[in-house]
Structure formats: structure tokens, C-alpha cells
Structure 1
Amino acid sequence: MAMPTIKAVRAYTVRGGGADYHDTQGYHWIDDHIATPMARYEEYRQSRRSFGINVLGTLVIEVEASDGTVGLGVTTAGEIGAFIVEKHLSRFLIGRQVTEIEKIWDQMYFATQFYGRKGVVVNTISGVDIALWDLLGKLRGEPVHALLGGPVRDELQFYATGARPDLAKEMGFIGGKLPLLHGPAEGDEGLKKNIEKLADMRSKVGDDFWLMYDCWMSLDLNYSIKLAQKAQEFGLKWIEECLSPDDYWGYADLKRNVPKGMLVTTGEHEATRWGFRMLLEMDCCDIIQPDVNWCGGITELIKISALADAHGKLMVPHGSGVYSYHFVITRHNSPFTEIIMSAPNADEVRPAFSPLLLDEPVPVNGRMKASALDKPGFGVRLNPEVKLHRPYAAA
């Protein structure tokens, strides 16, 4: 049978959960005094939402084939992304064969290069690309991991990011990544509190459980080195995203100056093969952490992973739920993956994109069988109870 063509592209925005996991109400550990680049300003230090981390919201993209099959992609891009999809990117999809994913990606990227290259534009391209892979998998009756070459292991193993690594250990995860609470603006007292938090958690989880610190672009080089040196005593496995993602030179210095055996990781806010080429060729880190919803989608993640493999580096994607699970299980240089604990108190395992998506698999005892990913496409669907808003229509 002939492969269907693409007949429609639709872009919706969603508020209150979904791809933008900061878009929450009430107390949540992810918003509670976490070090950020804006923490240098006291009025924006307590809450990340106070400086607008949730301002974009979720973008939902549907790509419909001529036979009525619909591919689904989500990302963080909100109304800006919806405009880009409907008014610009749709021209590169309508009428195309569903299999033309590589060509469509290339045209979307280079057509937006004059105002894009990174950030919200590449987030949007990522969402479209994810929808295309979902659509192709559904049309072929195969999971996306099969389209990528198939699993190289029988199960995934996870570490958990959240405020309670001690609970994560009880839930069967291999490690816990803490948000760093205090940045350079809080001085030596803040640094002391960061080390005390790590020491307390080490006493609770024992010596063999991984502990990491997520610094979310909030530090300078000097502070990062001091933090790493003081954290060595408590067996910190890695120190993550300490510096601005544009400071490749600082990362190279940091990697040379952390204690022997401690890993430097980054890449959550990097995008495309060109950005990751800089990280890898300048030897900025030990592990790269692209987010498939932000780095360019599955199509670009293939290239980024190959670059990492050629440089002898691991690629452990930033927590992007089922979209990264399908990729990680097909790659030898991605031996484990992340789940962000989306419960307000980090005390239970929830699907990554709840309540937006249904049928998302979740790890059990820190593991997930490959068979949990065997539905066609990415195996998820929109929750009909979630209110979608379509702010634009294609030109």
C-alpha cells in the first residue's frame, strides 16, 4: 500500500500540567527555593515561577495523515510555538509523504534559522518531529523504538530527580538527583547549606546509592569548583549544568578541575548537533543530557547520540518521559535514564506528562520492561478531559 501523505497540522496550547512541568499551582518541590540564574535577585529567589519559568506552557501538535491517522507530539513552547507551527512550519508538511521526516526536519530548521537555531523555535520543531515519528509508527503498526533499530536491552533502569532521594531509594531507583537550593548570591552560608543537605541525604541513603546535584545553570566557575571539592567527601556522582549553556570554555575548565572520579554533566538546555558538537569537541563534560522535546526531536537526537558515541561519551537524556524511553532503550551509550518526580512532595511515581497524556508507562521498582513500550508509535494518547486551545489556523 502507498504511504499516506500529510493532510493537516494542528497546534494547541494547554495550561496546568503537561510538557511544561513548572506550570503547576500550589506548593511543588520543583518551585521551592532552587538555585537559578535569577537567584542573584532576591525577589526571584524563592520561587522559580516568580520569574516566569512557566510562562510558555505546553504545546500540543497533531499531524494528520490522508487516511485519518494522527501523530501526536508535545513540547514546551506554548502560544509562540503554536504560531510557528500553523503559520510557518505547516507548509513543509502538508502534502508530504509521512516518511519524509529527514527532509521535513531539514526544511523546518533552515527555514527558521534566521530567527531560531535554539530555544523556543527548536522546541517547536522538536514537537513536530515527535509527532511525525509517532504518526509513522502508528501507520506501520510498530513502536518508535522498532523504527530506531529495536531494543538493545530487556529493560530500562532509572534514576529519580526530586527533593527526596531517600524515598527514591525505597522505590527502587538506582540514584537520586537533588536540586541545588542555594547559589552564589547566598555566599558561603548558602554553600554550607548545600553541603549539609548532601551530607544529610547521604546519611539516609547509604554509601552505594547514587547522589547527584542539579545546578540548573545557576553557578559561576569558582563556585562550581568549590561545590565539587566539598561534595567529594559525600560521594557526589556528578555535578550537573552548573554554568550557562553558552559557556563552553567554563565547562571545559570545570571538567579539568573537579575531583577525580566525579562526573560533569550538561546539555539539558543545549540544542542540535552543532551545539552538542561544541560540548563534545571541547571536552566539556562526561555525559551529555539532551532533552528530545527541546534539542530537535528524535531526528536530531539520532545525530547527537552518534556524535557522543564517537567521542566515547554517554548520552543520558533529560527527563522527557516516553519520548526518551523509546530512544534510550535502543542505544548502548544510554545505559540508564531519568524520571522527574512530578508529585508535589516527590513521594510517588507519576507519569511524566500527566494529566495531558494517557497510557504513559511508568517504572516499577525503578525499572521498565521493554515490552511496556510495544504499542504503535509512542503508545500514548491525549486525555479528552484536558482542555485544548487552538489559537491559530494555518495560513
Structure 2
Amino acid sequence: MVTLSRIKHVRAFTVRGGGADYHDQGEGHWIDDHIATPMAKYPEYRQSRQSFGINVLGTLVVEIEAEDGTIGFAVTTGGEPACYIVEKHLARFLEGRSPTDYEKIWDQMFFSTQYYGRKGLVVNAISGVDLALWDLLGKLRDEPVYQLLGGAVRDELQFYATGARPDVAKELGFIGGKLPLHHGPAEGEEGMHKNIALLADMRAKCGDDFWLMYDCWMALDVNYATKLATRAWNECGLKWIEEAISPDDYWGYAELKRNVPKGMLVTTGEHEATRWGFRMLLEMDCCDIIQPDVGWCGGVTELLKISALADAAGKLVVPHGSSVYSYHFVVTRHNSPFAEFLMMHPGPTEVVPMFAPQLLGEPVPQNGRMRTSALDKPGFGVELNRDIALHRPYTH
């Protein structure tokens, strides 16, 4: 039996601007242009999501160094508060251990923090540690993560694009385009008409055979979401309505799924966490597709459990964004037939790396597709950009 080098150090850094905290963008970016949110009922917070603090945390960077000097790393959101959790609480469950002990490590991280964690920031921190652990394991074994997860079930990934220009996404070869919803219930019938008008314009530009979806970012209530879904389906052939209501309102999702036109999909889950949260979505029949973010839901170790639950329930798993951390997972799962690509170009009119400038060597789709061989480097196949201003606020 080959004994792998044990874990020597765990370090946590934060960095500002773009990257894993993809909402932390400059002015004029489509991702912060009057997008419907739960805060849009307050006019002063309606135009910009940054106005109510969507970008306050920044990126969390976790590094795990083995005794032989090999370093695994990962990026997610969480910033300085997550750095504190990683350094002061979670590091004890890794240092001195074998990186192959990821099941035990995850269990100890989750249950030791359960009294103040369970979801949100704490699980973001756990996710970052878990992803860095898988990166280290792949590097120590000289294998890509997707090989550690059982190998690829297809030769290439295909993508839909999230951004303000589905018409450009079609030209770039993507299989669909997901728009941000601009107007929520507080903007009344006028806002509803604007939402439908934008969708109708994109349908005219994209043609009938291109997927169009609406990302509602938790902004709606069941009544508004039902009206929007019905009109968008009947008038524009909307493929799915995503994250229409609060992630805690499982009952509302179950009602919405019953309400929408037959054939339209209800999707959600990017702000859900752990197998227990997704079990609620699945058992209560809240949606057709679950969309866990591997950097927020508990990492790869937990995503495998979530995916197994969905597979048994006959539901698809299409992870939210998260670049290479999703790709290595999606290519190994039969119930993850395509992936999301977040268009981080401000326009967005070009395909650019999703987590720039933090990741080096990040692959991007060509003509809406990516060969599995693009992932054939050890770990997640990317390196940390050492030229960015990393800040380590805490040590242990």
C-alpha cells in the first residue's frame, strides 16, 4: 500500500475583487445591473446588489500543505470570517492526518461546528477546506479529481451560459442562455411587463430552438412566480424558472412546482447546503433540477451524497457555476448532463475565465463545449495566482 504524505499545514487567506466572489465587480458589469433581489422591496437597494452588501465578504482561499511540500488549494466565498473559522476551528481536524481521510475530516468539521453552523458561511468554509483537500489528494496521486471520483462518463462537457446576452451566448455555441430577472414584485405589473418584454426580445433574437431560462435570485413570492412562469412559458417558451423564492420556503417551492405550466422546469438549490437540505427539496418535490454550488454546499465530499439522493429521486444535478470545481464532478455523473458557465465578461460578449484573476490555467468552453482531456492535470488542474494580494488575517 502506498502511504501518502500527511497534512502539515492549513492556511486561509482572503482576497478582494472578482474571482470566487464573482459579485465583487467594478461598475457597469451586467451582474450588478438592477437585478431582482429580496432587498428590492426597498427602493434604495434596488439598482445595485452591492448597495446592500452582496460583495462584503470577498474570496476565501484555503491552502493545505503536505509534509513533502505539495500544496492543494481552493477558492470559494467567505472572506475574513471564513478565514477565522478555518484557522481557529477546522485546521485541527486536518493537520497530522492523511488526506485520504476526507470522510472522517468532513464529518468532524461539520458536527464540531453544528452548534453555530449547519449552512451559510460555516459550510462555505468547510467547502473550501474540502475542495483544497481533494486538490491535494489529486496532486499527491498525480491524478485529476474526476479520476478520483470514478472517471468520466462522457468525452466532453456541454454548457449553457448565464449572463445578460443569451443572443451572444447562442453565437458562441452554448446550448442555452439564462438571464437575470430585473424586476420583482415591488415593481408591480409594469415590472412584470418589462420582464416578459426582455424575454420576448431574446426569444426573437435566439429563435425557438434555443433554451432560455430566468434566474430570479430568491426575489419572488409564489403568486408572482406563478404568473411570471405562466406568461413566460406561454409567450416565450421559457425552459425553467430558477430560485424564484426564498431557499428556506420549501412549501412555497412545492406549491410553485404544482402551479407552473406542464413541461416547464422549476430549479433551485444554489443557496442550499448539505444532504439534509437537499433531501427536503427532493422529498417535498420542490423542483426538477437541483443546483448545488460545490463551494457552498459542503464541497465534493458532500456533493457526492447530494447527487446520489437526486439520482435515486430521478432528478438532475446541474451545479451552480464554480468553474473547475464543478467540471470535475459533472463529467463523472450520468445525472449531470450539462454544466453552467457564468459569463464574467462585463458585456457579456466574450468567454473569459470564470474565477480570474485568482486561478491560473482555468479552462473555458470552446464553442460551448469542453473536452474531458482539458481536465487532465493533477488535482483540479489549476494553480493559485501568487501575484494577487493575498491576506492571511489569522494564524494558528
TM superposition score normalised by structure 2: 0.99
SS at match of 2:295: coil
Q: Deviation at 1:163?
A: 0.2
Stretches of 4+ aligned residues off by more than 3 angstroms? none
Aligned residue number for residue 301 of structure 1: 303
Between the aligned partners of 2:67 and 2:169, the Cα distance in structure 1 is 45
Deviations 1:81-135 (A, max 9, x none): 0000000001101100111000000000000000000000000000000000000
- The number of aligned residues is 394
Please say if 1:190 is aligned against 2:191.
yes
Between the aligned partners of 1:90 and 1:349, the Cα distance in structure 2 is 36
Deviations 1:317-350 (A, max 9, x none): 0011000000000000000000110011111111
Q: Deviation at 1:18?
A: 1.3
Q: Deviation at 1:385?
A: 1.4
Aligned residue number for residue 390 of structure 2: 388
Aligned residue number for residue 149 of structure 2: 148
Aligned residue number for residue 32 of structure 2: 31
* Structure 2 residue identity aligned to 1:338: E
TM superposition score normalised by structure 1: 0.99
Aligned residue number for residue 72 of structure 1: 73
Aligned residue number for residue 323 of structure 2: 321
* Structure 2 residue identity aligned to 1:81: A
Q: Deviation at 1:3?
A: 1.3
Aligned residue number for residue 311 of structure 1: 313
Deviations 1:30-51 (A, max 9, x none): 0000000000000000000000
Deviations 1:243-272 (A, max 9, x none): 000000000000001001000000000000
Between the aligned partners of 1:186 and 1:318, the Cα distance in structure 2 is 27
Aligned residue number for residue 354 of structure 2: 352
Decide which moves more: 183-192 or 20-29: 20-29
- Please provide the CA RMSD for this pair: 0.5
Aligned residue number for residue 16 of structure 2: 15
Between the aligned partners of 2:27 and 2:162, the Cα distance in structure 1 is 20
Gapped regions of structure 2 (runs ≥ 5): none
Decide which moves more: 361-370 or 346-355: 346-355
* Structure 2 residue identity aligned to 1:307: L
Q: Deviation at 1:2?
A: 2.0
Aligned residue number for residue 377 of structure 1: 379
Aligned residue number for residue 340 of structure 1: 342
SS at match of 1:38: coil
Aligned residue number for residue 89 of structure 1: 90
* Structure 2 residue identity aligned to 1:20: D
SS at match of 1:104: helix
Q: Deviation at 1:69?
A: 0.4
Selected match of 2:270 from 262, 268, 271 = 268
Seq. identity, %? 77
Deviations 1:372-394 (A, max 9, x none): 00000000001121110000001
> Counterparts of 1:194-209 in structure 2 under 5 Å?
194-209=195-210
* Structure 2 residue identity aligned to 1:370: T
